[in-house]
């Protein structure tokens, strides 16, 4: 019994001497409406540290832990994750997933900013708190500078309202922070705000933003050096469009898609590149098909320096557009469809489908009597020469639209492909109502490659 007690005492002493390494893991906060009412005057910001040495056990991090034994390494870059508004007071479950994705790509310090108590329930009051959160983050960065961290080694990743928190941190450091990434930066109360009060390109040496819900919770204007507008920045594929769908599907899905796409991009399984264009409508009509403005290299979502840009000076508020699929890894190949039809006596509508196995991409083209040439951008999960077939169907109304459409030629080309390929073209196609037309593309592509 004496020996057992002695062993237990020694174990306790060892644990106490190494409390940082073996103490309890810290977690992001939750709050309730009652707690909020009792504590709403207390902002309660805390910082949680994750590294490759403690990837599954976050540690509370701050002034008290500096100068002591901890996992923070001042010689490595530091990623700072900043969540935004928490309508119901719940902790951001995605924050840990994002931290793990970052650690999987780079050996860095990841600091998660937890300000759930000040970010919950009443949005207008939460907006009043965001600059105070930025001040507290700046205090931590100042302390870390004294530990040997350079300002350019900090990369702030802000989600929704957290993007503007990151922007104000950048303002406090006069734009010397290395990088800010904004994941669907918040729109309400910020679209018409002065640049001092919202994120803008002057807040860091490089600012990139991903827009996925610019018609509701996100901001619709460019806020960075490069701004990626996924599917136009509004309605995302796979997200419910009905008020009767689940609350998540209708309200949050578009807004949070930026986070999930960013995490997918970190895995690097496929490129998510944007194409510069003045508007989404021009992009869809095939008027923007290259990245000559960036010396032929398109910016890509992810951690590559300046999104892969090598041009100097870095552009500012450059709109970039790309199409995505509905599921991870979200990457789509941009296929430009162009066709010319013979003169029509009535308006018509043709549905074009690209098929690869069980995968099908559909696009409807409205044909007018006054036009003969049409172009449209389509997103397909596989590359051009992996598409099995193309089919067309006359979907026009029986009485009021064209009964038969003669397509002089239809061509498909891969936009921003790694290799320059000539378009695949098929000539002389008749698409009659009730008689869908289909053609094997594998054979065409094989002939082309010879």
Q: Is the pLDDT of residue 395 over 90?
A: no
Q: Is the pLDDT of residue 14 over 50?
A: no
Nearest to 213 by CA among 193, 192, 188: 188
91 & 142 share domain: yes
42 & 119 share domain: yes
First to last CA, the chain: 84
170 & 90 share domain: yes
The answer to whether the beta carbons of residues 89 and 38 sit under 8 Å apart is no
- What is the dihedral sign for C-alpha 166, 167, 168, 172? positive
Q: Is the pLDDT of residue 444 over 80?
A: no
- What is the dihedral sign for C-alpha 100, 106, 111, 113? negative
* Helices assigned H by DSSP within 225-338: 247, 253-267, 280-284
pLDDT at 331: 92
pLDDT-derived band at 171, boundaries 50, 70, 90: very high
Condensed to tens digits (0 to 9), the pLDDT of residues 294-347 reads 887 899 999 999 999 988 888 899 999 999 999 899 999 999 999 999 998 888
pLDDT-derived band at 245, boundaries 50, 70, 90: low
372 & 308 share domain: no
Condensed to tens digits (0 to 9), the pLDDT of residues 73-82 reads 999 999 999 9
**How many percent of the chain have pLDDT more than 90?**
65
9 assigned to some structural domain: no
**How many percent of the chain have pLDDT more than 70?**
87
pLDDT-derived band at 361, boundaries 50, 70, 90: very high
93 assigned to some structural domain: yes
Nearest to 342 by CA among 402, 272, 420: 402
Q: Is the pLDDT of residue 420 over 70?
A: no
**What is the C-alpha separation between 58 and 38, in angstroms, rounded?**
27
Long-range contacts of 443-446 (CB under 8 A, 24+ apart): 445/384, 445/385, 445/387
Q: What is the domain-level CATH number for residue 211?
A: 3.40.50.1820
**What is the C-alpha separation between 134 and 425, in angstroms, rounded?**
55
249 assigned to some structural domain: yes
5 assigned to some structural domain: no
The answer to whether the beta carbons of residues 239 and 249 sit under 8 Å apart is yes
Q: Is the pLDDT of residue 133 over 60?
A: yes
Condensed to tens digits (0 to 9), the pLDDT of residues 252-291 reads 999 999 999 999 999 887 889 999 999 999 999 999 988 8
445 & 312 share domain: no
Q: What is the mean pLDDT of residues 192-210?
A: 96
pLDDT at 9: 31
Number of domains in the chain: 2
313 & 430 share domain: no
**What is the C-alpha separation between 341 and 348, in angstroms, rounded?**
11
Catalytic-labelled residue, pool 184, 200, 213, 254: 184
CB atoms within 10 A of CB 159: 29
Q: Is the pLDDT of residue 12 over 60?
A: no
The answer to whether the beta carbons of residues 120 and 88 sit under 8 Å apart is yes
Expressed as residue numbers, the domain containing 344 is 333-449
339 & 377 share domain: yes
Q: Is the pLDDT of residue 446 over 90?
A: no
Q: Is cis: bond before 313, omega within 30 of 0? A: yes
Catalytic-labelled residue, pool 83, 255, 333, 380: 255
Out of 21-30, 226-235, 238-247, 287-296, pick the least confident.
238-247
**What is the C-alpha separation between 174 and 166, in angstroms, rounded?**
12
1 assigned to some structural domain: no
436 assigned to some structural domain: yes
Q: Is the pLDDT of residue 41 over 80?
A: no
47 & 194 share domain: yes
pLDDT at 385: 86
133 & 162 share domain: yes
7 assigned to some structural domain: no
Domain ends where: 301, 322, 343?
Answer: 322
Nearest to 80 by CA among 128, 118, 114: 114
279 & 400 share domain: no
Q: What is the domain-level CATH number for residue 379?
A: 2.60.60.20
The answer to whether the beta carbons of residues 289 and 275 sit under 8 Å apart is yes
Beta-sheet strand order (sheet of 333-341): 373-380, 333-341, 404-414, 424-432
**What is the C-alpha separation between 341 and 339, in angstroms, rounded?**
7
The first and second tokens of residue 152, run together, are: 């350019």
pLDDT at 368: 87
Question: 286: Cβ–Cβ under 8 A, 6 or more apart, which residues?
Answer: 336, 337, 338, 375, 376, 377
Q: What is the mean pLDDT of residues 418-447?
A: 81
The first and second tokens of residue 406, run together, are: 């003669």
Domain ends where: 287, 322, 357?
Answer: 322
Q: Is the pLDDT of residue 98 over 60?
A: yes
The yes-or-no answer on residue 184 being catalytic is yes
The answer to whether the beta carbons of residues 389 and 439 sit under 8 Å apart is yes
293 & 388 share domain: no
The yes-or-no answer on residue 440 being catalytic is no
349 & 315 share domain: no
Secondary structure element (H or E) that encloses residue 413, with its range? strand 404-414
pLDDT-derived band at 435, boundaries 50, 70, 90: confident
Catalytic-labelled residue, pool 29, 120, 153, 160: 160
Condensed to tens digits (0 to 9), the pLDDT of residues 380-391 reads 998 888 899 999
* Helices assigned H by DSSP within 76-213: 94-105, 123-146, 161-172
The answer to whether the beta carbons of residues 235 and 202 sit under 8 Å apart is no
pLDDT at 33: 79
8 assigned to some structural domain: no
**What is the C-alpha separation between 337 and 392, in angstroms, rounded?**
12
pLDDT at 247: 59
**What is the C-alpha separation between 178 and 321, in angstroms, rounded?**
25
Nearest to 228 by CA among 246, 244, 207, 209: 209
The yes-or-no answer on residue 334 being catalytic is no
Question: Measured in whole angstroms, how far is the alpha carbon of residue 9 from the centre of its chain?
Answer: 51
Out of 29-33, 100-104, 218-222, 338-342, pick the least confident.
29-33
Higher pLDDT, 297 or 151: 151
């Amino acid at each position: 019994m004496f020996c057992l007690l002695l062993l237990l005492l020694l174990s306790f002493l060892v644990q106490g001497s190494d409390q940082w390494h073996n103490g309890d893991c810290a977690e992001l906060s939750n709050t309730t409406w009652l707690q909020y009412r009792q504590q709403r005057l207390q902002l309660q910001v805390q910082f949680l540290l994750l590294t490759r040495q403690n990837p599954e056990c976050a540690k509370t991090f701050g002034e008290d832990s500096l100068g002591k034994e901890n996992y923070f390494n001042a010689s490595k870059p530091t990623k700072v994750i900043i969540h935004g508004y928490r309508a119901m007071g719940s902790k951001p479950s995605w924050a840990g997933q994002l931290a793990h994705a970052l650690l999987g790509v780079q050996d860095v310090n990841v600091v998660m900013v937890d300000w759930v108590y000040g970010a919950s329930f009443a949005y207008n009051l939460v907006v009043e708190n965001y600059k105070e959160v930025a001040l507290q983050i700046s205090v931590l960065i100042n302390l870390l500078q004294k530990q040997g961290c350079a300002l350019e080694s900090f990369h702030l990743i802000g989600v929704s309202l957290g993007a503007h928190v990151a922007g104000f941190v950048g303002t406090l450091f006069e734009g010397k922070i290395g990088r800010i990434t904004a994941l669907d930066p918040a729109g309400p109360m910020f679209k018409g705000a002065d640049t001092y009060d919202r994120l803008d390109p002057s807040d860091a040496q490089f600012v990139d933003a991903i827009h996925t819900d610019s018609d509701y919770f996100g901001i619709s204007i460019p806020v960075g050096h490069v701004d990626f507008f996924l599917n136009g920045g509004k309605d995302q594929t796979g997200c419910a469009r009905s008020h009767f769908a689940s609350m998540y599907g209708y309200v949050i899905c578009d807004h949070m898609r930026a986070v999930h796409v960013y995490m997918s991009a970190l895995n690097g399984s496929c490129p998510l590149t944007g194409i510069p264009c003045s508007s989404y409508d021009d992009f869809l009509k095939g008027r923007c098909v290259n990245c000559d403005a960036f010396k032929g290299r398109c910016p890509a979502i992810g951690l590559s320096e300046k999104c892969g840009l090598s041009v100097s000076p870095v552009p500012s508020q450059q709109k970039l557009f790309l199409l995505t699929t509905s599921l991870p890894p979200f990457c789509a190949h941009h296929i430009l469809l162009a066709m010319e039809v013979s003169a029509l006596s009535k308006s018509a509508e043709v549905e074009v489908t690209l098929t690869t196995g069980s995968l099908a991409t559909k696009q409807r083209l409205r044909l007018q009597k006054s036009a003969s040439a049409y172009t449209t951008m389509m997103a397909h999960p596989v590359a051009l020469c992996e598409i099995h077939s193309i089919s067309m169907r006359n979907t026009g109304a029986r009485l009021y639209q064209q009964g038969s459409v003669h397509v002089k030629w239809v061509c498909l080309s891969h936009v921003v492909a790694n290799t320059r390929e000539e378009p695949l073209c098929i000539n002389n196609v008749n698409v009659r109502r009730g008689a869908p037309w289909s053609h094997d593309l594998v054979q065409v592509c094989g002939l082309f490659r010879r």
